[in-house]
């Protein structure tokens, strides 16, 4: 993919006359970059502009420009609390995904399942094939008071109190983990697959216990996969609004739902846009922090 002009130009040999290399490069890049321009940068640029407006630019209203939308954390101090919940949920989701996803990937990559490991990989991917909304709603049936979970628990222990925890932050984390776990399994699986069996065998033959192998060899060598998976999960989870809304009930107030409310209920696009860009800034900061690891991972 990283083929430069020098290697691509000869392929386009039109009627014996060679085109200048930059023509071929432009022709090859144009579809992708044109699409990116239209699909990402144009709306993003418009939203960036909106975030400085005093009102939603639809209708006949006079529009002014202001920085006020970016001051929401000071004009509405409860937003700090909302941000704190959001990041708690995102960290918990990422951590749980990292632990369970890494272990699952380890089992898949190193258990010698042979060809059947592809079946297991496809099973991991299954959640991607079902509609997110359906997945979330089915969780509400399971974890609500008197739901399936309660039915099972009370079948075993008839006297047991309800264990339903719908409308709580753990419920939100549960739904998010379900949705995003496959990213972690896949990135870790790829990273672990590249670890040479000989290294592990050498450690074993030298008497290393399993926890030494895990802590000194497998985790450090799979770190790029873990970090890439964490970024892939953390970023969308910070902005998630569907899971908090449906599984969190009154507890489901996050930056994502506040942004969604600004756009839909409040019809206050500037506010929603400003919040989105503040969130984007945080996300970019996270990317910047881990960019070195990500780059290394991309080369794997």
Partner 1 sequence: MRLSRRAMVQLMGGTVLATTLLGPRRALAATKITVLNWQGYGTDEKWALEAFTAATGIEVVHDYFNSEAEMITKLATNPGAYDVVLINSARIAQAAGQGLIQPVDFAKIPNATGLAPKLKDHDNMQYEGETFGCAWVWGMNGLGVRDGKTDPDSYAALADPAWAGKVALFDDAVTAVGLGALATGQDMNDPKDLEAVKTFLQSVRPNLHNLWTSEDQWNKAFAANEFDLSVAWSGGVVRSFRNGGLPVHFVVPKEGAIGWLDGLAVPTTAPDVDAAHAFINYMIDPEFYFRWATEVGAPASANVDAMAKLPEDDLMKQVHKAEYIDTMSIMSALPDERRDAFNALWQEMKAYYAAK
Residue from 23, 44, 47, 79 in contact with partner 1 (CB under 8 A): 79
Q: Which stretch binds partner 1 (CB under 8 A): 7-15, 56-64, 179-187, 193-201?
A: 56-64
Residue 145 engages partner 1 in binding (rule: CB under 8 A): yes
Residue from 161, 267, 295, 300 in contact with partner 1 (CB under 8 A): 267
Q: Which residue, 82 or 186, is less far from partner 1 as judged by CB?
A: 82
What is the rounded distance in angstroms from the CA atom of residue 173 to the CA atom of residue 238? 11
Residue given tokens 């628990």 in the structure block? 153
For the CB of residue 96, give the shortest distance to partner 1 in the complex, in Å: 21
Per-residue contact string for residues 149-188; x = within reach of partner 1 by CB under 8 A: ------------------x---------------------
Q: Which stretch binds partner 1 (CB under 8 A): 100-108, 197-205, 209-217, 250-258?
A: 250-258
Judged by CB under 8 A, how many residues of this single chain contact partner 1? 31
Residue from 73, 223, 249, 290 in contact with partner 1 (CB under 8 A): 249
Q: Which stretch binds partner 1 (CB under 8 A): 20-28, 73-81, 204-212, 277-285?
A: 73-81
Residue from 25, 66, 261, 283 in contact with partner 1 (CB under 8 A): 261
Q: Which residue, 182 or 239, is less far from partner 1 as judged by CB?
A: 239
Q: Which stretch binds partner 1 (CB under 8 A): 42-50, 228-236, 252-260, 284-292?
A: 252-260
For the CB of residue 161, give the shortest distance to partner 1 in the complex, in Å: 15
Q: SS3 string of the chain?
A: CCCCHHHHHHHCEECCEECCHHHHHHHHHHHHHHHHHHHHHHHHHHHHHHCCECCCCCCCCCCCECCHHHHHHHHCCHHHHHHHHHHHHHHHHHHHHHHHHHHHHHHHHHCCCHHHHHHHHHHHHHHHHCCHHHHHHHHHHHHCCCCHHHHHHHHHCCCCCCCCCCCCHHHHHHHHHHHHHHHHHHHHHHHHHCCCHHHHHHHHHCCCCHHHHHHHHHHHHHHHHHHHHHHHHHHHHHCCCHHHHHHHHHHCCCHHHHHHHHHCCCCCHHHHHHHHHHHHHHHHHHHHHHHHHHHHHHCC
Residue from 31, 59, 112, 158 in contact with partner 1 (CB under 8 A): 59
Give yes or no for a contact between 238 and 283, defined as CB atoms under 8 angstroms apart.
Answer: yes
Q: Which residue, 31 or 250, is less far from partner 1 as judged by CB?
A: 250
Closest C-alpha among 30, 29, 12 to residue 20: 12
Residue 269 engages partner 1 in binding (rule: CB under 8 A): no
What is the rounded distance in angstroms from the CA atom of residue 181 to the CA atom of residue 125? 9
Which phi-psi region, left, alpha or beta, contains residue 199 (left: φ > 0; alpha: ψ -120 to 50)? Answer: alpha
For the CB of residue 159, give the shortest distance to partner 1 in the complex, in Å: 20
Residue from 100, 140, 154, 193 in contact with partner 1 (CB under 8 A): 140
Residue 57 engages partner 1 in binding (rule: CB under 8 A): no
Largest separation between any pair of C-alpha atoms in the chain: 86
Residue from 76, 130, 162, 291 in contact with partner 1 (CB under 8 A): 76
User: Which residue ranges make up the site for partner 1 (CB under 8 A)?
Assistant: 55, 58-61, 76, 78-79, 81-82, 85, 140, 144-147, 167, 245, 248-253, 258, 261-262, 265-268
């Amino acid at each position: 993919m990283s083929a430069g002009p020098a290697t691509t130009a000869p392929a386009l040999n039109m009627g014996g006359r060679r085109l200048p290399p930059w023509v071929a490069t432009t022709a090859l890049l144009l579809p992708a970059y044109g699409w990116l321009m239209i699909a990402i940068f144009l709306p993003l640029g418009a939203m960036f502009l909106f975030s400085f407006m005093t009102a939603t630019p639809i209708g006949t209203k006079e529009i002014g420009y202001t920085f006020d939308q970016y001051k929401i954390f000071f004009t509405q101090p409860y937003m700090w609390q909302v941000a704190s919940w959001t990041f708690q949920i995102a960290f918990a989701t990422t951590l749980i995904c990292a632990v369970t996803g890494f272990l699952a990937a380890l089992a898949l990559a190193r258990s010698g399942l042979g060809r059947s490991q592809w079946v297991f990989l496809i099973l991991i991917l299954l959640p991607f094939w079902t509609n997110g909304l359906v997945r979330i709603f089915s969780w509400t049936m399971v974890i609500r008071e008197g739901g399936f979970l309660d039915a099972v628990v009370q079948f075993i222990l008839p006297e047991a109190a309800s264990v339903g925890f719908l409308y709580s932050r753990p419920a939100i984390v549960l739904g998010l983990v379900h949705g995003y776990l496959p990213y972690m399994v896949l990135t870790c699986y790829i990273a672990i697959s590249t670890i040479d069996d000989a290294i592990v065998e050498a450690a074993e033959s030298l008497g290393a216990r399993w926890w030494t192998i895990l802590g000194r060899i497998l985790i450090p060598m799979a770190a790029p996969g873990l970090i890439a998976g964490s970024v892939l999960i953390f970023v969308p989870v910070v902005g998630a609004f569907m899971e908090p809304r449906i599984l969190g009930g009154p507890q489901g107030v996050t930056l994502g739902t506040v942004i969604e409310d600004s756009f839909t209920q409040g019809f206050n696009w500037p506010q929603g846009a400003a919040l989105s860009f503040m969130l984007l800034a945080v996300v970019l900061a996270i990317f910047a922090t881990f960019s070195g690891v990500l780059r290394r991972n991309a080369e794997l």
